[in-house]
Amino acid sequence: MSFELKGEEAMVDFGRRLAEASQGWGVFYLEGDLGAGKTTLSRGILRGFGHEGAVKSPTYTLVEPYEMVDQSVYHFDLYRLGDPEELDFLGVREYFGPHALCLVEWPIRGKGFLPEADIIIRIAYRSDSRVIEVEPISEHGQTVCNHLSSNSR
């Protein structure tokens, strides 16, 4: 399924909708060029769970945990990952499971050490907008997409 979004607020709003559709858990791969809007989308997802603080890309720390009252979200940015094996040493597998939502930027860099995605979200530039492609991979991913399409604006 595809969405065209114009402006940062539209991206944040779409993230809020994804948060609701996710039911608070899953693995979302976020793909797109540098500056495409992956972190902006992540900020929208976090806002959807009530996070009001800053959201920055964890480029140097690899993961930024967000613990809300009833929700755990782990935001990964693997852009600077030297070797996928580093993920094992960091114990990242413990973050993934039915207890949390994991957002993974640059998932290709962790290939072989990351769990399968529930959804792959691809973000592409257009001159005045972003095109978001959402591809369900798992049954949960299909449920998220069904929720998004039934609540399209």
* pLDDT tens digits along 19-55: 999 999 999 999 998 888 899 999 999 999 999 888 8
Domain count within the chain: 1
**Domain hosting residue 28, numbered range:** 2-150
Is the model's pTM score more than 0.85? yes
Helices 38-48 & 8-22 angle (0-180, nearest 10):
50
Q: Cβ(61)–Cβ(95) under 8 Å?
A: no
Q: List the beta strands (DSSP E) in the chain.
A: 2-5, 26-31, 63-67, 72-77, 101-105, 119-125, 130-136
Strand partners of residue 26: 101
pLDDT single digits (tens) 58-110:
776 788 999 888 889 999 999 988 888 888 888 888 888 788 999 999 999 99
The whole-angstrom separation of Cα 133 and Cα 121 is 6
Q: CA nearest 120: which of 98, 99, 100, 142?
A: 142
Task: Find the CATH number of the domain harbouring 20.
Answer: 3.40.50.300
